[in-house]
Structure 1
Amino acid sequence: MTASVSIGIAAAAGADVAARIAPTVERAGFHALWVNDTPGADALEVLAAAAAVTERLVLATGVLPADRRSAAEISARVAALGLPEERLVLGIGSGSGGAVGALVRVADAASALRAGSEARVVVGALGPKMRRLGATVSDGVLLSWLTPDAARAQAREAHETAAAAHVALYVRAAADVAAVGRLDVEAERYAGYPSYAANFARLGIAARDTVLRPDGFAAGLAEYRAAVDEVVLRAIVPGDDAADYLAFVEAAAAAH
């Protein structure tokens, strides 16, 4: 297995940054631009800016929370923004609405989106129940915060559940030594979330073991590419302007 490689940014980076970097991401041969939804920012709006300046690049959300963005609202927003559904991937997740009803909430949203759109749908999943659900009711799963070995095991499990399931993995990555501090802060933040802390404990890994740092970037990326179908390099950069992201894209292109 040799995974495709994609670039990921936060919606908070903004539409202007997405429009600046998307053509470079496409020219460099990356598979997709993933935008994770963040409070106060709309991943779909950011993707619309990228769509306007690209022709082939896959556009993906990672992930839209089903507890605060209904399938009907997502579909209406996709239509209003004129997003090209033939190259759109709608990543959805349970959100922060609690574990009770999460599986049903995500299953209903995935079914509704697949029925009402040409876009592919993947489910952001931590635990085994949500991973099985994603493999069976959608086009695949979006994993996050895993070592290569853990990612390989979960990808194998998903493919055993549904052979055609697409397994994508978010990997937080810093290509510039000036961004390592922000990478460490990001890892510590996720390690403090109860659901992620429980998942790290269950897997016997630490958040800091699941990231790519400037030293060993290329070798680490190769390990991840051997584990899943798609590696999404979630860019952690020194600053927040387009130049920082463009430098990351160039470094990532050289590494893969």
Structure 2
Amino acid sequence: MSTAPVSIGVAGVLGPATIAQIAAAAEQAGLYALWVNDTPGGDALAALHEAARATETLVLGTGVVPLDRRTPDEILIDAAGLPEDRLILGIGSGQASGPVLAAVRNAVDALRERTSAGIVVGALGPKMRTLAVEVGDGMLLNWLPADIAADQAVEAHAVAPGATVALYVRTALDEGGMPRLRAEAERYARFPKYAANFARLGVSADDTVLTPGAEGLAAYRASVDEVVLRAMTASDDAAEYVRFVERAGELAAG
């Protein structure tokens, strides 16, 4: 696998204005894409509208919109006007109950009928990973060491050679971001589905992150089709994220 492009991921709670600044910096730094987590109080699609106005070529993605909070119809309404040629709609099952695989399949089909944007699925277990590449354009992985991400990418490409495998990697590029990185790892290690997955894979959350110096970035770039550095900064000040983006651009170019 060739060296994957590097992107940045941020939380929607930063707000559209701050995310627009980050997007402009990411495009200037030569990063591939901006992914925005859709969270309670943080509307990813609203942020992407501002990011689109601030950029010309940067790919824009939602990482991801949970289907328990927004239906495909609502996603399409909120995405209207975004440049579909550089938009990736990332969706996930969230806390949906019932037949989750069927719900995700139906959502991908509904989106596919009405948009030419890329559609990827946030996937953890093997069934969801297979579904993501069978019906979508690819999958967005999370909390994996490079070797396991590589294995899952190989499996995905065996099912759908043209599918894109992107991977979120929590990253602190200076010591100021380390407290937040540690807290994020501890928080996810307590989530039942992630705790079960870490146990099944025989890894810890700390095995899946990048710390200052970013040793291991090359291995991640060799393992998947796109590496999304989920930015862990000392604060939510826009200047902190711009510095992160500039450093990420240097690492990607180097």
Structure 1 length-normalised TM: 0.96
Matched, 1:112 2:113: no
**Structure 2 counterparts to residues 1-256 of structure 1, below 5 A:** 1=1, 2-79=3-80, 82-98=81-97, 100-215=98-213, 217=214, 219-256=215-252
User: What CA deviation, in whole Å up to 9, does each residue of 1:157-213 have, x standing for no partner?
Assistant: 000111111000000000010110110000000000000001111111100110000
The alpha carbon displacement at 1:220 in A equals: 1.2
Shift of 1:107: 0.5
Letter in 2 for 1:223: A
Unaligned runs of 5+ in 1: none
Instruction: Tell me the SS of whatever aligns to 1:21.
Output: helix
Letter in 2 for 1:95: G
Quick one: percent identity of the two aligned structures? 58
**Counterparts of 1:89 and 1:240, CA distance in 2:** 24
In 1, Cα distance between equivalents of 2:20 and 2:150:
33
**Structure 2 CA distance, aligned partners of 1:54 and 1:15?**
13
* Aligned-residue offset at 1:138: 0.3
- Equivalent residue of 1:112, what SS? helix
Deviation at 1:16, TM superposition (A): 1.1
Q: 3-state SS of the aligned residue for 2:121?
A: strand
Displacement over 6 Å in runs of 4+: none
Q: CA deviation at 1:20?
A: 1.2
The separation in 1 between residues aligned to 2:58 and 2:251, in whole angstroms, is 19
Q: Which amino acid aligns with 2:93?
A: S
Q: Post-superposition shift, 1:21?
A: 1.7
Deviation for aligned residue 1:224: 0.2
Contact 1:67 1:105 in 2 (8 A): no
Q: What 5-or-longer segments of structure 2 have no aligned partner? A: none
Task: Describe the SS at the equivalent of 1:172.
Answer: strand
Aligned equivalents of 1:90 and 1:165: distance in 2?
14
Determine helix, strand or coil for the equivalent of 1:226.
helix
Question: Secondary structure at the residue paired with 2:54?
Answer: coil
Q: Find the aligned partners of 2:99 and 2:41 in 1 and give their Cα distance.
A: 25
Asked if structure 2 preserves the Cα contact closer than 8 Å seen for 1:8 and 1:36, the reply is: yes
Whole-angstrom distance in 1 between the partners of 2:105 and 2:219: 31
Secondary structure at the counterpart of residue 60 of structure 1? strand
1:32 shift after superposition: 0.5
Instruction: Please give the alpha-carbon distance, in whole angstroms, between the structure 2 residues aligned to 1:160 and 1:51.
Output: 34
Find the residue that maps to 1:240 and give its secondary structure: coil
SS at match of 2:8: strand
* Shift of residue 118, structure 1, vs aligned partner: 1.1
Shift of 1:19: 1.4
How far apart, CA to CA, are the structure 2 residues paired with 1:111 and 1:44?
Answer: 20
Q: CA deviation at 1:28?
A: 1.2
